[in-house]
Amino acid sequence: MKKLFKDKVVIVTGASSGIGEAIAREFALNGSKVVLAARTESKLQEITNEITSTGGDAFFVRTDVSVEADCKTLIGKTIEKYGRIDILVNNAGLSMRASFLDVDVKVLHQLMNVNFWGTVYCTKFALPYLIESKGSLIGVSSVAGFHGLPGRTGYSASKFAIHGFLETIRIENLRKGLHVMIIAPGFTSTEIRKHALTANGREQGESPRDEKRLMSPGYVAKWVLKGIRKKKRNKLLTWDGRFTALFQRIIPTVVDWAYYLEMSKEPKSPIK
């Protein structure tokens, strides 16, 4: 693995926390040159310092992925410093928790702006370099990108949109050696549920899940690298996810009920 990723230039969005932070650290451990992007400079600085103080090569660019100009700057600064891009991991993301009946549509706009448009902007500016290096374009998705997740209309919509977008890019570039992978972790212990937006757009502030029992970000990160090594197309990290992908076309109503029952039993669920 180390040989494959050594000196590869990797951009990770949403690298200030959770899965993105773990992915950035994992690439650095494998000898890659890592560019960390997110909005919280203090966290990016801290993680970058830790990577470089242990012999890694990394820098950060403060980036709000929902702002096209920020994504252009991120790619520009990467090229300025390293001259190439081998891997772009579109990981920055935001979730929600509210029924569509109650939610303010501005919440859906916000989710699309970060999850979907953030992926589009970063990919737009990085794609020529990824094609040049015959590199990998990655989308960190979710089972919500394969089947509608109740209480998460905007989240599911943004992940479905990412799937359509990345799948099309894969096909457009079939002859160019570009690798495109969608990876879907299961529930992972991160800040995502605390920052999830509620019906009025305010952060939820707490997690309705027992975070100690969830997947670790480090586990997800290892699978991102393994998936790239094996040039995977889709990587679903849970049996629930694989079950969904396999059965949603054969017994979709069973999958609907499984999702309904799972999400409605959460404490204070907006799904009744």
Q: Out of 30, 48, 136, 190, which residue is the one contacting ligand NDP (CB under 6 A)?
A: 190
* 188 near ligand NDP, judged by CB under 6 A: yes
Two structure tokens written together for 8: 């590869």
* 38 near ligand NDP, judged by CB under 6 A: yes
Mark 92-111 with x for binding to ligand NDP (rule: CB under 6 A) and - for no binding.
xxx-----------------
Q: Out of 5, 116, 187, 259, which residue is the one contacting ligand NDP (CB under 6 A)?
A: 187
Extended strands (E) in the chain: 9-13, 33-38, 57-62, 87-90, 136-140, 179-184, 234-236
* 195 near ligand NDP, judged by CB under 6 A: yes
Instruction: Please give the helix or strand (H or E) that residue 72 lies within, else none.
Output: helix 68-82
Two structure tokens written together for 135: 């590199």
Stretch that binds ligand NDP, among 8-16, 52-60, 72-80, 122-130 (CB under 6 A): 8-16
Answer yes or no: 155 catalytic: yes
Q: Which residue is it, tokens 């394969």?
A: 146
Note the Cα 32 to chain centre separation in Å. Answer: 19
Stretch that binds ligand NDP, among 64-72, 74-82, 128-136, 256-264 (CB under 6 A): 64-72
Q: Which residues of 105-141 are buried (b: 16+ CB within 10 A; e: fewer)?
A: eebbebbbbbbbbbbbbbbebbbebbeebebbbbbbb
State how far the Cα of 36 lies from the Cα of 16, in Å rounded to an integer. Answer: 8
Stretch that binds ligand NDP, among 17-25, 47-55, 243-251, 259-267 (CB under 6 A): 17-25
Of 123-142, binders to ligand NDP (CB under 6 A) are 140, 142
Give me the residues that bind ligand NDP (CB under 6 A), please: 13-20, 38-40, 63-66, 91-94, 114, 118, 140, 142, 185, 187-188, 190-192, 195
